[in-house]
Amino acid sequence: MIDRIRQLESLARKLEPSSELRELMLQQVQRYGEHFLKSTIESKIKVFEHDHTSISRLDKLGFSEMPKSLASLLELLYDTVDTTGINPAAPNHFGYVPGGGIYPAALGDYLVDLTNRYAGITFANPGAVRMENILLEWMAEMVGYPKSATGNLASGGSIASLIAIVSARDHHKINPENVRKSVVYCTSQIHHCLLKAFRIAGLDYLITRHIQVDRDYAMDPKHLEKTLQTDIEAGLNPFLILASAGSTDVGVIDPLKAIGLLAKKYSCWFHVDAAYGGFFMLVDNLKEKFDGMELSDSVVIDPHKGLFLPYGTGAVLVKERAAVVRSHHYRANYMQDAFQDEEDISPADVSPELTKHFRGLRMWLPLQLIGLAPFKAALEEKIYLCRYFYQKVKELGFEAGPDPMLSVCLFRWTKSKDPDRFNQMLLVQIQKAGSTFISSTTIDSTFWLRVCIMVFRTHLEHVDQFLTELAEIINQEDFGILETKKLDN
């Protein structure tokens, strides 16, 4: 047996490269990263690459007993992953709300992966848990929650929303017996991850009331109250009101204070989806738009959006600590040593995760290393860039949607026989060109082109580049002929 152990040890030790080899590997990865960033910043990589033929190389590679060189694997990574599909790190990414990927966050992740610190339970790493809780406390203070509030750094808005919905469900004692008479109130602008959370949380049979919106797609509080009163008179159980603080479609902020007061009046859980818009609260001249968020019972806010961090960094804040702990707290016999004299609440007690990545360092390190001022400036810059685009795209002859509240702008070309179909064609043309990436949405059966300016690398020059691209398309001599041909086909 000893001989076999020694034999296996000799082979297993290959998992631990020498100091010299680690240094060499790190240099190769660093060169790769610098090349990628330089190519991205200088627009040498397409923002969107529709051709996926290179991906077949991944399937052909397979796995073998023998090692492969890092250089060859990095080359494969570049060709099959980092230059295909959407490049969310690019300054001309205007399509969705991207994960930013600021450089110090990558350093934080490198250190976390290297040290492999476990951040699920205070006993295992009190420093890591304290760091994450400090970040949550800072966000809770920003929202206006009391110091007794708690939360969790989750993988994103979806898991964060699920934590909030489950907490609301259990706090209001929604169960199979009363779920069919329980009512949730929202607008058509609510993010689909909340609807998905209902399904996962066993709330498929809830009654959903879609509240009317104004011309800017913000919730109408008067219609909300009228609907609440009607449902109570009908013997139903209103228990949850969902509002947006930066909707994905148009970036709308609902009238949070009016909604919050109604939630309190009718004893409903008030949840705010601020995943995209929440960190705009840091901008001084926007703070009043978020008045009333402090009245909410829970809020989701994504650092991988408003703080430009890498994907996989969401956050949920819950005002009443007991509510979220009641839903997620659990003890196992084999972990009896891990729950003694806890000074900090453990992430495992406020989320579905037990095994938890130490996400906090990727957020804490940039905030400490850079300071808050550049983050605030970047957020305010994106607002002004969106307003600038809104003005200029109308000057080009496009119809534009509601005045941007944050950094989302809707626009469409209407001088066409079939505007919806033509804008779909225009979207494909822009995406295939690959120099700019935009997305689309459909609201009230109308197809809109959509710009979301949220990449920290996006500046005035990049917005002007896209406006020039649009101008060249609509000013080309065969623009009308192309339209007729494509629509007839």
The per-residue pLDDT for range 278-306, each reduced to its tens digit, is 999 999 999 999 999 999 999 999 999 99
The enclosing H or E element of 186 equals strand 182-186
Is 262 inside any structural domain? yes
Which one-letter amino acid corresponds to residue 322?
A: A
Of 345, 370, 395, which marks where a domain is finished? Answer: 370
Same domain, 387 and 408: yes
Same domain, 376 and 339: no
Give the residue-averaged pLDDT of 307-334.
88
The per-residue pLDDT for range 428-450, each reduced to its tens digit, is 999 988 899 999 999 999 999 99
CATH number at residue 173: 3.40.640.10
Give the residue-averaged pLDDT of 420-425.
93
Of 370, 398, 426, which marks where a domain is finished? Answer: 370
Is 51 inside any structural domain? no
- Give me the domain span that covers residue 390: 372-488
Q: Give the pLDDT of residue 488.
A: 44
Is 74 inside any structural domain? no
Of 370, 385, 409, which marks where a domain is finished? Answer: 370
Same domain, 408 and 460: yes
Is 10 inside any structural domain? no
In this predicted structure, the answer to whether residue 398 has a pLDDT above a threshold of 60 is yes
Same domain, 197 and 215: yes
Give the residue-averaged pLDDT of 473-484.
63
Residue 433's Cβ-count burial label (10 Å; 0-12, 13-18, 19+) is middle
52 neighbors 83 (Cβ within 8 angstroms): no
Give the residue-averaged pLDDT of 103-109.
96
Same domain, 433 and 332: no
The per-residue pLDDT for range 43-55, each reduced to its tens digit, is 888 899 887 888 8
Q: What is the DSSP string of 196-222?
A: HHHHHTT-TT-EEEE--B-TTS-B-HH
Q: Give the pLDDT of residue 55.
A: 87
Q: Give the pLDDT of residue 475.
A: 81
Same domain, 452 and 470: yes
CATH number at residue 453: 3.90.1150.10
Is 102 inside any structural domain? no
Q: How many CB atoms sit inside 10 A of residue 214's CB?
A: 13
Same domain, 322 and 424: no
The enclosing H or E element of 439 equals strand 439-443
The residue ranking higher by pLDDT, 18 or 335, is 18
298 neighbors 167 (Cβ within 8 angstroms): yes
Smallest Cα–Cα separation from 427: which of 448, 453, 458, 406? 448
Helix, strand, coil percentages, rounded to 5, for the chain: 50, 15, 35
In this predicted structure, the answer to whether residue 332 has a pLDDT above a threshold of 70 is no
Q: How many CB atoms sit inside 10 A of residue 462's CB?
A: 21
Same domain, 404 and 463: yes
Number of domains composing the chain: 2
Same domain, 121 and 143: yes
d(CA 432, CA 436): 9
Give pTM, 2 decimals: 0.93
How far, in Å, are 18, 37, 410 from residue 111 at the CA level? Answer: 18, 20, 40
Is 212 inside any structural domain? yes
Same domain, 393 and 333: no
d(CA 303, CA 281): 13
Same domain, 274 and 357: yes
Q: Give the pLDDT of residue 487.
A: 46
Same domain, 314 and 441: no
In this predicted structure, the answer to whether residue 330 has a pLDDT above a threshold of 80 is no
Q: Give the pLDDT of residue 290.
A: 97
Give the residue-averaged pLDDT of 96-122.
90
Is 76 inside any structural domain? no
Is 114 inside any structural domain? yes
Q: Give the pLDDT of residue 34.
A: 95
